[in-house]
Structure 1
């Protein structure tokens, strides 16, 4: 039962991340995406650090800077470049290649087996996201495409290394360390590229509180906890729920329409997530049985 709740929490994380577009467009000042990333990561990380009251050892600083850079700094910076240069549907679809990247990186860095069923489920999820978001008249921009794929690759590598470099601390502590590292690295970039940040209104503050609290502190703790228990391959497949959540929130709150093709894409995404979890659960059960028989 505890594992089921952990998996549900990991699934909740991308569902909440799907609200980022809605909150950004409705509550945040336009033109300051990097500073939004700083205000999302650094205060949340410092708050968690006050809760856990544990600083990382010096031997871990280098790894934490790399993990924070991959999972937050590079990921968010490239994500915003892609968002500015590509239609949202194209950017989100390219970002949905992350589970495939995690499959390859997990085999290389963790020695995880390459399962055909997992690849098929990841491709199905990518296809479902494309049905949800891509429109026929969308145009590509080469720099935007590279940025979107780079963002997906950064988060994929960060997720796999989070599993490989697991320190002997709680998932909450590990999340706090990474958020602080990522926010510190992103701050000078934001100050350099986005001068003149305005004094926030109460509406802006509400948006930053949501993105920093639910959208960072809570969700990344749930996400990293899921990776700790289930591994990056199984958890990354849940990421398809993020664009699905974004589309559904747009339909509920912004009165955006849903076509029959998008409804079909919704079904494909849900089937992909269910299939990926079923494959991972079966493989885990088989591993447990075979391990028991050898004992």
Structure 2
């Protein structure tokens, strides 16, 4: 009889854990807003297993204080005074979906959740630990959620708001597209993905930023998330977002925008080797040429 005691203890522990998990899931299920998609709800369940439950319920409680507008492509949570912004975000996401289908590839992206904040402190509290500073918006792939801080200047001019929606939704679209092709974004240099998001966001509101050639930094030093975060934290006039925007802009003007799909779906080759094969020039040659061309454009 003693021989079976360890197995009995294991069975009891499993049964107890299962019951406890069921109770927690039921409590979470009953507290989640009905407008959340089943996919997003599953993310909450998974987080509840590995993150402090109090934090999860705190996030859920906050969502329940907000209004919601929901459709197939997106679900937007907002404070009552931001209804017009929420509706415009939905419209802009539809626009971005069509834009990416025409520009990169036809893909029915997964629904995205957008949370609009007014309070900077609450905004920061609901973000995961990250390496960036002074954020106004952040896409969290694990949550399939865009967190966006609404500022007073956005009340007067929604252009910045829509640009941020377009930028962050592009991150979501890329992640959804890669997932559909059994990939993730780990093979992509940060400058390339951020450049795509920055280019698409600015194109969506017909904005062309000023070029600052003297603050250029080699793209190989903007490859990893850590390197990108460092350059964003530096107190200098260097702007990696703008530089990366112009790299994508140059690819488009070169007629290489069709090659972006190949670079996104790269499964085996080194990104820079594939870049050279697709464009016909090394990254260094590309950097030198696009800087020269931008300088010439500035003189005109």
Q: Indicate the structure with greater strand content.
A: 2
TM-score, length of structure 1 as denominator length: 0.25
Q: Indicate the structure with greater helix content.
A: 1
- Determine which structure has greater relative contact order: mean sequence separation of CA pairs < 8 Å that are 6+ residues apart, divided by chain length: 1
TM-score, length of structure 2 as denominator length: 0.24
Flag the structure with larger Rg.
2
